[in-house]
Amino acid sequence: MTANPTALPSDHPSVKSGKVGVLLINLGTPDGTDYTSMRRYLREFLTDRRVIEWSRWKWYPILFGIVLNTRPQKVGKAYETIWNKDKNESYLRTYTRNQSDLMAERLHDLPNVRVDWAMRYGQPSIGDRIQALKDEGCERIVLFPLYPQYAAATTATVNDKAFEKLAKMRWQPAIRTVPQYHDDDTYIEALANSVNRHLSTLDWKPEKILASFHGIPMSYFKLGDPYYCFCQKTGRLLREKLGLSEEQFMVTFQSRFGPEEWLQPYTDKTVEELAKNGTKRIAVLNPGFVSDCLETLEEIAEQAAESFHHNGGEKFTHIPCLNDSEDGMKVLEKVVRRELLGWV
C-alpha cells in the first residue's frame, strides 16, 4: 500500500481561523531605568533609519562612540522621576496596556475581534504580537500606530516593522494600517474637553495655551513629510473649538536632538521667552501624544515648568494627555470601528 503524499502528519496542529485582530502600537519603552535597559532601548530607537536619516558612516561613530555611552545614564535618571513605581514600568506601558484592555471591553459586541498591544521599540514587540494574533486565528489584522498626526519617524516605522515580520511569514494575515486622524471631530472634541476640564480645576486662568508637538528635523519636512501640516491643522481646529484667538493659543515643537534645525517655534525657547517678556500664566498640552510619557511628564511638566518659573513666570500647568480616559477611549474606538468596516 503506497503512502498518500498529501496526508498531514498525525501531530499536525489544528488551524484556528475566522477572527480579526486589532493591534494598538505605541512608540516604546525601556524595561527599566538601569544603564543596560536604557542602552538596549536607545540603541534600537536610534539605529532606526526612519528616526535618524543620516548616513550610517556619519551617524554610527557618534552613536556608538558617544551617545550610547553617555545618554543611557541621563535618560535613565529622567525616567526615574516619572516611573510608575507601583507596577515598576513606564506610564506609557501602563496606559497602552490599559487602552488595549478597555478597547477589548468596548468591542464586546464583536466576538470575533481580538485586541492586543505592542511597542515599536522594546517589548512586547510588533512581530511577536502579530504572530500571537495569527496563532489565535486572526486572518485579518488592523495595525493601529497610536499617532494622531502621521510622520515617517512614527507611523511609517511602525508599518515598516510590521511588514518586516510579514516578510518572514509563509501564511500572512491580511493587513490594514490606520491612517492619521489629526482632524477627526471626536479627537478634537476630546482634546477641547480635556483642556476645559483641567482648567476648571485651577483658581487662575492662563494667558496663553501652548499645544506642544514632538518635533522632527526641518530637513524631513522639506523632503515631503506632512507631519508639520497635520500638527498645524490639529492646533487650528482645537483653538477654534476652544474659542481662542491666535494670541491666546499657539503651536510649538519639542524634543529636538542633534545639531540640525528642527520644526519651529521650539517649545523650550518659547516658554523661556514668554516668561522673560512678562507672561505670568501659561498652560501646555501635548495633542500629538496619545499617552503621557517621558516627553510629557518630564520634559514638559517638569523641565518646561522649571524654566518658566526660573525666567519670571508665576503659574504653569501641564494638561495631561487623553491616556485611558473615557474621552480618549472614545477617540480610539471610533477609529478602530471605522477601520474594521467590511471585516466584521
Helices (H), the chain: 35-46, 56-62, 68-81, 91-106, 126-135, 157-166, 185-199, 218-222, 227-242, 267-276, 305-310, 326-340
Q: CB neighbours of 297 closer than 8 A, spacing ≥ 6?
A: 81, 82, 91, 318
Residues 96 and 100: their CA atoms lie apart, in Å, by 6
Residue 314 known to bind ligand? no
| Three-state DSSP state, 120 | strand
User: How many Cβ atoms are within 10 Å of 316's Cβ, its own excluded?
Assistant: 21
Q: What is the torsion angle, in degrees rounded to the nearest 10, for the CA atoms of residue 116, residue 301, residue 261 and residue 40?
A: -50
Residue 310 known to bind ligand? no
Residues 344 and 341: their CA atoms lie apart, in Å, by 6
Q: Which has the closest alpha carbon to 28: 138, 139, 158?
A: 158
Asked if 282 and 210 count as a contact pair (C-beta separation under 8 A), the reply is yes
Q: Which has the closest alpha carbon to 332: 155, 148, 120?
A: 148
Largest Cα span, the chain: 95
Asked if 177 and 74 count as a contact pair (C-beta separation under 8 A), the reply is no
User: How many Cβ atoms are within 10 Å of 89's Cβ, its own excluded?
Assistant: 16
All 3 cell numbers of residue 66? Answer: 558617544
Q: What is the DSSP letter of 148?
A: S
Asked if 214 and 221 count as a contact pair (C-beta separation under 8 A), the reply is no
User: How many Cβ atoms are within 10 Å of 82's Cβ, its own excluded?
Assistant: 20
Residues belonging to the binding site are 214, 295
Residues belonging to the binding site for Fe(2+) are 214, 295
